[in-house]
Amino acid sequence: MNNDAQTGWVTSLPGGPHAADEAEVRPADHPDVAAGRTGVLIVNLGTPEAPTPGAVRAYLAEFLSDTRVVDYPRAIWLPILYGIILNVRPAKSARAYAKIWTAEGSPLRRYAVAAAEKLAARYGERL
């Protein structure tokens, strides 16, 4: 077991199902944890279906209507969203998305799917 001199965190542990292929990092005083399945979250706030004003408008409406994303009072926020943002931003944002869009679609979606596939291939049933 190696402790990082600055943090005191454990940087590798002998044994265990992941010790051979991955170093674990946890505080030095953390109790041992029984081996089990590993969970990985790949999280983002979404992406439009296409780099078009209509698709960007639909995405922005869904994303910016979520009270976990924007926590302004609805009576104040919704007129701003529907009166200004959804009338101004979609065309401008669609042009920006078009510059990075690929034949495979949204780069954000493509990279998230690729990361999930690589994690599944590497960790298989442990994931």
Q: What is the pLDDT of residues 35-94, one digit of tens each?
A: 777 788 888 889 999 999 999 999 999 999 999 999 999 999 999 999 999 999 999 999
* DSSP labels, 51-78: SSHHHHHHHHHHHHH-TTT--S-HHHHH
Going by DSSP bridges, is the β-strand pair 2-3/9-12 parallel, antiparallel, or unpaired?
A: antiparallel
The model carries a pTM of 0.65
Strand positions, DSSP E, the chain:
2-3, 9-12, 26-27
pLDDT in tens, 82-120: 999 999 999 999 999 999 999 999 999 999 999 999 988
Are 54 and 90 in contact by the 8 Å Cβ rule? The answer is yes
- How does residue 27 score in pLDDT terms, banded at 50, 70 and 90? confident
Length of the chain: 127
Residue 23 has pLDDT above 50, yes or no: no
